[in-house]
Structure 1
Amino acid sequence: MLKLYKNLMKHAERPLDNLLEKRLDRGKELPERIQERKGIASIQRPDGKLYWVHAASNGEAQSALILINALLEKDDELNILITTGTVTSAKLMQKNLPKRAIHQFYPLDVPKWCKEFIEHWKPDLALWMESELWPNMLQEIKSSNIPAALINARLSPKSYNRWKLIKSSFSKMLACFHLILCQNDQEATYYSKLGGQNVHVTDNLKYSARPLPHNSNDLTALNTAIFNRPVWLYASTHRGEEELAANIHKQLKAKHADLLTIIVPRHPERGDFIYKELKTSYPDFEIIMRSNERALPQFDTDIYLADTLGELGLFYRSCPIACIGRSFSDDGGGGHNPIEAAKLHCAIMAGPHVQNLQEIYDEIYANKAAINLNSEADFVAQLDRLLSDKQKLEDLQARSFKYANQKANVLERVMEKLEPILPEK
């Protein structure tokens, strides 16, 4: 199976070139960096030791930042390359990467492009995050004798059952990793049954994340603009959830006349589309876009559309209540990380579709540290209770914060397991 895949990808350069051109037209690639997707670096390799961390998109990249900071603090002669596959994650990395860390786009899995990437960067160690595995690049890593680890590894029951059908191929990919660190016992069992070696459970790195950053001047300005209005946040929304937020705002406004709804879309580039969609459906709503010269909500603003990148920490600090996005979305959901909001004292809610982070949500619900919403009507009722009952709100905030900080030592366990495969100084 892997030989067939490799042969297909050897002849895929031209169609993949066409695909990249189409993605460029849709704003899903950066023109000045498109060559990175073919393994051609846009910057020189720094001298000395270099670790390579790969994270598919935003969520994995946030976890990767935790690890990157720890590795750089441990070794002051180290440089780190991080690769991701989306424009949004690239912008996020450019904004948040520490010194001695650089970003490139991950190349598509054409053998020639993978080889060019490895030959340029010559990483001393490869650390891949979570679950994205590319056969040709993994083979190039193994052929180049680069020690590798799969960090924060996850594997859903559905994926496990699919990979079982081609176990020998998946086993060969896993053989490229000297170490596999899983988020839970079930996933560790899956990886072991599929041929993974040196498999351990270290829990989810997201628990060790530092609180999301913010600009203190922006926080003061935003809090001043909100003043004492009742406010709630819908964080990291996907298509369908902005309309849901607006409809909920409409239903609650009769009781909470000064209600302010803040929407932070997962992909800020959707801002113009969201604004037009909401103005069409709710022409009487006052809607302000933050991307419009960093405008602030006014006294009569209904919906504040925070279509900017990397400011979620600001809004979690300003809003006592946060519903986590992609849990009601049109794409079938999957959920986003609730720990970021919990670490900033938010009372947390989420919809029924959180399967990508099911274990975290199961635990947070078991600890009564978040509200599990099962419908739009439930959403309205629960949000109304939190807006109306200060004690209920404060109790939920306290449980949420306590839960988020009870597993802060995950990073220490990860670093301990990594120690034997780290190259010598």
Structure 2
Amino acid sequence: MLKVYALASRAALPLAYRRVARKLAAHGTDPARIVERLGHPTQERADGPLLWLHAASVGESLSVLRLIAQLGQMHPGLNFLLTSGTATSAQMLATRLPPRCVHQFAPLDSPACVGRFLDHWRPDGGVFIESEMWPNMLRLAAARGVPLALLNARISDRSARGWARLGGTARHLLGLFAMIHTQDARTAAHLADLGAPDARQGANLKAMSGPLPCDAPALADLRADVADRPVWTAASTHPGEEEIALSAHKAVLAELPRALMILVPRHPDRAGAIAQMIGHAGLTYTRRSAGAGPEAGAQVYLADTLGELGLWYALAPVACVAGSFTPVGGHNPFEAAHAGAAVLHGPLYANFAESYAQMDAAGAARQVADAQDLGRAVRHLLATPADLGAMQDAARQFAAAQDDALEDLAATLCAALKLG
């Protein structure tokens, strides 16, 4: 099966590269960097040992930064290469990389591209995040003696059924990992069934990623603009969720007419359509991308920029983490909790099922069913300081408790990969 896959990936390479190159160019990627997808490096390899970490996109890439920083403190001579596949992840990482860490786009999973990549970077260990199990990357790295680990593994019931049909191929690929750390018990059970009995559940890597960066002067300016207005954030919304947030905010305004909602779309390139949606809902708004602030007359502040989510979580005491009202699977609730925001979420959060169950039980988060329920919850929290304060305190405490697991994970990883 792996030989068939290798042949197919060679044949598909020209078409696959044209597709990803077009997508990266459309998002403003430096043309000189697009060839990284073919395994051509655009930076030199640092002298000394190098740990390669591979993540798919924004969330996975950001979740690993604090682990890299921890490993860097434990091993001052260790260098890091972080790879991902999307333009957005590269943009977000540009100003956030820890010391001795560089970013490259991951090579397409073709033997020639992966071989070229490995020839240049010569990693001393490889760490794959969540569900990033590319057969050529894994087998070619392992063939060169690179020890491998799978961290924060997550596999859905559907994906597990698909891997089960591959039988021995799945067992072979999983057997290449010296360490498998899963983010939930369900994934550990699935991987054991697939032939990885040593897979172990641990703390969610995203829970240990710490607070998002926040520009202090910008936050001070925004707080001055907002003054004493009641404010809440609808964060990382997807199509179909802006309507829910706007409907909920109308209900909030009926009782708190000075309230402000910060609307943060997951993909800012949808902002034009969202702005029209706000207007059609009969609400006034200003846009961050236009250089405007949350003026007193605006009922909605459209935060249509990239990389400022930490700012919006710090500004608003209540945060509804979207991606949970449509079948997206939810987004990282720990980022809001680290900022001290009371967390609200919808009912569709398969990617964070155990995390939300724990947060809800601790009083740090609360599930709402729909727009009406969301409006009612936001209205209550903004109008009831005691309840809001208690939920914010619970969120902070829950987030802080996750930090203890980071050092243990880093030490376990180093031992498994024989680093330092």
Interval of TM-score (by shorter of Structure 1 and Structure 2): over 0.9
From 404, 410, 416, the counterpart of 1:415 = 410
Contact 2:245 2:371 in 1 (8 A): no
Between 146-155 and 18-27, report the one with greater CA deviation.
18-27
Which residue of structure 2 lines up, in the alignment, with residue 312 of structure 1? 309
In structure 2, the residue corresponding to 1:11 is in which secondary structure?
helix
**Unaligned stretches of 5+ in structure 2?**
none
1:26: how far off?
4.1
Q: Distance in 2 between matches of 1:389 and 1:273?
A: 34
Scaled by the length of structure 2, the TM-score of the pair is: 0.95
Which residue of structure 2 lines up, in the alignment, with residue 158 of structure 1? 158
1:167: how far off?
2.3
Q: Distance in 2 between matches of 1:156 and 1:38?
A: 30
Residue 326 (str. 1) matches residue 344 (str. 2): no
1:424: how far off?
5.0
Which residue of structure 2 lines up, in the alignment, with residue 300 of structure 1? 297
Instruction: Provide the alpha-carbon RMSD of the alignment.
Output: 1.8
In structure 2, the residue corresponding to 1:365 is in which secondary structure?
helix
Q: Distance in 1 between matches of 2:251 and 2:32?
A: 46
Which residue of structure 1 lines up, in the alignment, with residue 84 of structure 2? 84
From 284, 287, 302, the counterpart of 2:285 = 287
Contact 1:40 1:116 in 2 (8 A): yes
Amino acid at match of 1:207: A
Deviations 1:132-178 (A, max 9, x none): 21111111111111011111112222222221121211111112211
Residue 404 (str. 1) matches residue 399 (str. 2): yes
Residue 390 (str. 1) matches residue 385 (str. 2): yes
Q: Distance in 1 between matches of 2:33 and 2:146?
A: 26
Contact 1:182 1:199 in 2 (8 A): yes
1:264: how far off?
1.6
Contact 2:236 2:331 in 1 (8 A): yes
Between 152-161 and 49-58, report the one with greater CA deviation.
152-161
Spell out structure 1 runs of 4+ moving beyond 3 A: 421-425
1:56-135, aligned counterparts within 5 Å? 56-135=56-135
Q: Distance in 1 between matches of 2:328 and 2:417?
A: 37
1:29: how far off?
5.4
Amino acid at match of 1:364: M
Q: Distance in 1 between matches of 2:82 and 2:2?
A: 26
Q: Distance in 1 between matches of 2:203 and 2:361?
A: 17
Between 149-158 and 82-91, report the one with greater CA deviation.
149-158
1:423: how far off?
4.3
Contact 2:234 2:322 in 1 (8 A): yes
Q: Distance in 1 between matches of 2:18 and 2:213?
A: 38
Amino acid at match of 1:20: V
Q: 1:49 to 1:88 in 2, by over 3 A?
A: same
Amino acid at match of 2:343: I
In structure 2, the residue corresponding to 1:72 is in which secondary structure?
helix
Deviations 1:2-29 (A, max 9, x none): 2221111111122213323442464385
1:43-54, aligned counterparts within 5 Å? 43-54=43-54
Q: 1:415 to 1:24 in 2, by over 3 A?
A: closer
Contact 2:17 2:37 in 1 (8 A): no
Which residue of structure 2 lines up, in the alignment, with residue 351 of structure 1? 346
Residue 147 (str. 1) matches residue 142 (str. 2): no
Contact 1:207 1:410 in 2 (8 A): no
Q: Distance in 1 between matches of 2:419 and 2:396?
A: 39
Q: Distance in 2 between matches of 1:22 and 1:131?
A: 25
1:30: how far off?
4.7
In structure 1, the residue corresponding to 2:360 is in which secondary structure?
helix
Contact 1:225 1:299 in 2 (8 A): yes
Which residue of structure 1 lines up, in the alignment, with residue 263 of structure 2? 263
Contact 2:251 2:376 in 1 (8 A): no
Which residue of structure 1 lines up, in the alignment, with residue 187 of structure 2? 187
Q: Distance in 1 between matches of 2:42 and 2:156?
A: 35
Which residue of structure 2 lines up, in the alignment, with residue 230 of structure 1? 230
Residue 381 (str. 1) matches residue 376 (str. 2): yes
Contact 1:205 1:410 in 2 (8 A): no
Q: Distance in 2 between matches of 1:24 and 1:312?
A: 22
Which residue of structure 1 lines up, in the alignment, with residue 196 of structure 2? 196
In structure 2, the residue corresponding to 1:118 is in which secondary structure?
helix
Q: Distance in 2 between matches of 1:415 and 1:74?
A: 9
Amino acid at match of 2:294: P
Deviations 1:252-274 (A, max 9, x none): 22221111010122223333332
Q: Distance in 1 between matches of 2:337 and 2:394?
A: 9
Q: Distance in 1 between matches of 2:81 and 2:128?
A: 12
In structure 2, the residue corresponding to 1:326 is in which secondary structure?
coil
Q: Distance in 1 between matches of 2:87 and 2:173?
A: 27
Amino acid at match of 2:411: E
Taking every aligned residue pair, what percent have the same amino acid on both sides?
Answer: 37
Q: Distance in 2 between matches of 1:177 and 1:213?
A: 33
1:220: how far off?
0.8
Contact 2:178 2:417 in 1 (8 A): no
Q: 1:140 to 1:44 in 2, by over 3 A?
A: same
In structure 2, the residue corresponding to 1:234 is in which secondary structure?
strand
Contact 2:24 2:87 in 1 (8 A): no
Contact 2:69 2:99 in 1 (8 A): no
Which residue of structure 2 lines up, in the alignment, with residue 335 of structure 1? 330
In structure 2, the residue corresponding to 1:146 is in which secondary structure?
coil
Deviations 1:176-202 (A, max 9, x none): 211111223332232222122643332
